[in-house]
Amino acid sequence: MAKTIYYAAATLDGYIAESDDTLQWLTGYEGSYEGEDAEPMKGSYDRFMEGIGALVMGSATYEFLLDEVDTWPYEGLPTWVLTSRELRRFEGEGVDIRTANAPVRELYDEMTEAAGDRDLWVVGGGNVASQFADEGLLDELAITVTPVVLGTGKPLFDRRLPKQPMQLLGTTTWDTGMVELRYGIER
């Protein structure tokens, strides 16, 4: 059965972006780890993407992508952008962007149907992830903790999560010094 996964990188102090929505803390990170348990990080994103059938993100994440990339990185995947305002459009072949101003509960069936037998990726930001958590629609968290401390920024979640028991599914220690934590969420 397909899952809804919040897959993100976060700083040690729980931020996914700087206050101005930039990711220099992540894109400029150059750590390493040579322990016996180190797994190669190269290729891990591609392996994750093989299991993704659809995506959902907020307008800040979408606008960041508009400003940073020349070609849409999620070609062929239906992508929902949750927004209450008009946004510039990313154009190109294979681009399937659907803007919506509706509660995630109302959009969820359409999103999971579009994902088919693959997973729905909650890309971010923290507000979108919080909306899914509030509705009990998250199945899994996959958070890659990066040993960077910002002190301020955009949080992993916007607010305290409702009581949803989480079960550790596993950890991966990457050769970059980052650690991925995977938690299942009881619905």
Task: Tell the burial category of 122 from Cβ atoms under 10 Å away from its Cβ (0-12, 13-18, 19+).
Answer: buried
Rounded to the nearest 5 degrees, what angle is found at the Cα of 121, between the Cα atoms of 3 and 182? 65
Q: Is the pLDDT of residue 93 over 90?
A: no
Q: Out of 6-20, 68-82, 157-171, which region has the weakest mean confidence (pLDDT)? A: 157-171
CATH number, domain 4-185: 3.40.430.10
Q: Which helix (H) or strand (E) holds 4?
A: strand 4-11
Counting every residue written for the chain, the total comes to 187
Q: Is the pLDDT of residue 76 over 80?
A: yes
Smallest CA-to-CA distance from 124 within 25, 27, 7 is with 7
Q: Which helix (H) or strand (E) holds 15?
A: strand 15-17
Q: Please, which residues have CB within 8 angstroms of residue 86's CB and are 6 or more apart in sequence?
A: none
pLDDT at 2: 87
pLDDT band at 5 (very low <50, low <70, confident <90, very high): very high
pLDDT band at 126 (very low <50, low <70, confident <90, very high): very high
Which tokens belong to 151? 């002190």
What 3-state class would DSSP assign to 121?
Answer: strand
